[in-house]
Amino acid sequence: MAGKTLGIGVIGAGQIVRRHALAYRAMPNLARLVAVADIDPKRAQAAKEQYGFAEACTDHRELLGRKDIDAVSICTPAGSHSALVVEAIEAGKHVLCEKPMATTLAQADDIVAAADRHPDVIVSFVFQLRSDPTHRRIGWLIREGHLGRALVAKVCVRLRKRPEYYKSVPGRGSWKSDGGGVVVNQAIHQLDALIMLMGRPVRASAVMNTFVQPMEAEDTLLGWVEFEGGALASLDCSVCAQKKEFSIDIMGERAGVRLTGDPDSQKFQWPIFARGSAAKKAIQKAGLKAFPAPPDPKSKMASLKKTIAKIRKKEWIPPNTWGHGPHVQEFLESIVAGGPAPVPPQEGRRSLELATALYESAKSGTIVELPLGSDCRLYRGMDQYESPDRAPTPVPV
Ligand SMILES: NC(=O)c1ccc[n+]([C@@H]2O[C@H](COP(=O)([O-])OP(=O)(O)OC[C@H]3O[C@@H](n4cnc5c(N)ncnc54)[C@H](O)[C@@H]3O)[C@@H](O)[C@H]2O)c1
């Protein structure tokens, strides 16, 4: 692969295509944009013109059949991910698919099986917090024991979506098309980060409701998780909030940390709580030494470069320092190196498994044990759960 740039195709030209296209374009030595496909021809054409793809088409199979495409980004709604990812793998293309990995664990396992059949293909899922230095720093501080044993985490994902967000796209916020509501679409990033920080979940429980949003699935869920080793976490997720808040608080035996900022943040805050300022400073210093802060995207130098591009009437391509940028870069580098993928299928499945456990608990009113396999009632999705032949077996009295 060395010396050759990778031909890139993108399937799905909605909101998120921009972040993929700009991240690839920031690395012209590694990648070139070849084609974009969207079932909506206007969107495909608009993306071609806006981001500089060589071609646009309406059928992803046309894109997968091209010899000059080595890798594809899949940026379509979650309900279509598994079929498209499996098709791309079978066509021999490396795949970077947006979160969530799929809408059901059955679909996720189809992807795992396809990736196992094609070990030479790199398959990865977009969980950009995994590439963020602040999240990596906190993970390192926990693993190295700087906070003492991690005891309790508190996750808060609160935002307000306008009703039009759900009304504008058929199936948005539905079980079939999106796989659920706030948990699987918004809080999935924090679930993934929680697993990365706290370890393997073993039990979970939740309650959920659809209070105000015009959607089929939940707009609010409250829950708790127990991890291997006994640590606990509470979850508070809603798209009905007045005040936006994204945070993961971790209480350790000796010190705590509050990680704030949404997945789009250019900068995350990570105040440390410890007894005495010396202890606090020592933890901060160790963390920053292990995982330095990335260059500030709003620095004077960055603003100057942006202004110069504007004066020269050139498009401004931000460097890959935050959000999708470093994540897409790691995907490309993993292709060049022959692996491993930044978030391989088994890793992408973990947050979906936890989301499924929370949904199953809320639906059945029970505490759900993990891991979840094909015997889980929600394995094939919420619509299958309700079908009479998959109804839970009554307990004999
Ligand atoms: N990582 C993040 O922070 C982040 C942020 C936003 C969205 N996303 C994810 O990105 C994905 C897309 O989200 P979006 O906001 O761009 O959605 P969107 O509705 O704006 O765009 C989806 C596009 O896919 C197209 N499409 C659907 N089926 C297709 C098919 N079979 N072939 C080709 N095109 C098809 C639609 O016409 C539409 O243009 C979702 O999985 C979403 O969860 C991730």
3-state secondary structure of 228: coil
Ligand 1 binding pocket includes 43 (Cβ within 6 Å) = yes
Kindly state whether residue 37 falls inside one of the protein's structural domains: yes
Averaged over 2-10, what is the pLDDT?
Answer: 87
CATH number for the domain that contains residue 79: 3.40.50.720
Do 393 and 245 belong together in one domain?
Answer: yes
Kindly state whether residue 1 falls inside one of the protein's structural domains: no
Averaged over 160-187, what is the pLDDT?
Answer: 96
State the pLDDT at residue 390.
44
Choosing from 75, 126, 188 the residue with most ligand 1 atoms within 8 A of its CB, the one to mutate for a pocket test is: 75
Do 168 and 109 belong together in one domain?
Answer: no
Do 137 and 210 belong together in one domain?
Answer: yes
Q: pLDDT tens digits, residue range 326-349?
A: 999 999 999 999 999 999 999 999
Closest-CA residue to 192 (of 330, 327, 296, 76): 327
Do 194 and 122 belong together in one domain?
Answer: no
C-alpha dist (Å) from residue 62 to 55, 56, 69, 155, 299: 11, 10, 11, 42, 42
CATH number for the domain that contains residue 396: 3.30.360.10
Ligand 1 binding pocket includes 60 (Cβ within 6 Å) = yes
Query: pLDDT-based confidence at 384, cuts 50/70/90?
Result: confident
Do 140 and 247 belong together in one domain?
Answer: yes
394: cis peptide before it, omega within 30°? no
Do 110 and 153 belong together in one domain?
Answer: no
Contact by Cβ (8 Å): 122, 92:
no
**Cα 346 to middle of ligand 1, angstroms:** 22
User: Is the pLDDT reported for residue 140 higher than 50?
Assistant: yes
Q: pLDDT tens digits, residue range 29-73?
A: 999 999 999 999 999 999 999 999 999 999 999 999 999 999 999
Please state the pTM of the whole predicted model.
0.94
C-alpha dist (Å) from residue 52 to 24, 28, 46, 73: 11, 12, 10, 15
Do 326 and 363 belong together in one domain?
Answer: no
Ligand 1 binding pocket includes 38 (Cβ within 6 Å) = yes
Do 293 and 196 belong together in one domain?
Answer: yes
Do 222 and 360 belong together in one domain?
Answer: yes
Kindly state whether residue 96 falls inside one of the protein's structural domains: yes
Ligand 1 binding pocket includes 11 (Cβ within 6 Å) = yes
Which domain, by its residues, includes 155?
129-313+344-397
Ligand 1 closest atom vs CA 37: 33
Split into its structural domains, the chain has a count of: 2
Do 176 and 257 belong together in one domain?
Answer: yes
Atom 20, ligand 1: which residue's CA is nearest? 14
Kindly state whether residue 165 falls inside one of the protein's structural domains: yes
Do 61 and 79 belong together in one domain?
Answer: yes
Do 222 and 117 belong together in one domain?
Answer: no
Q: pLDDT tens digits, residue range 240-275?
A: 999 999 999 999 999 999 999 988 887 899 999 999
Radius of gyration of the chain (CA): 21
Of 141-155, 165-179, 293-307, the least confident: 293-307
> What residues have CB less than 8 Å from 24, skipping those under 6 apart?
8, 31, 32, 33, 73, 328, 332
d(CA 334, CA 216): 38
Choosing from 17, 40, 74, 76 the residue with most ligand 1 atoms within 8 A of its CB, the one to mutate for a pocket test is: 76
> What residues have CB less than 8 Å from 349, skipping those under 6 apart?
101, 105, 108, 109, 112
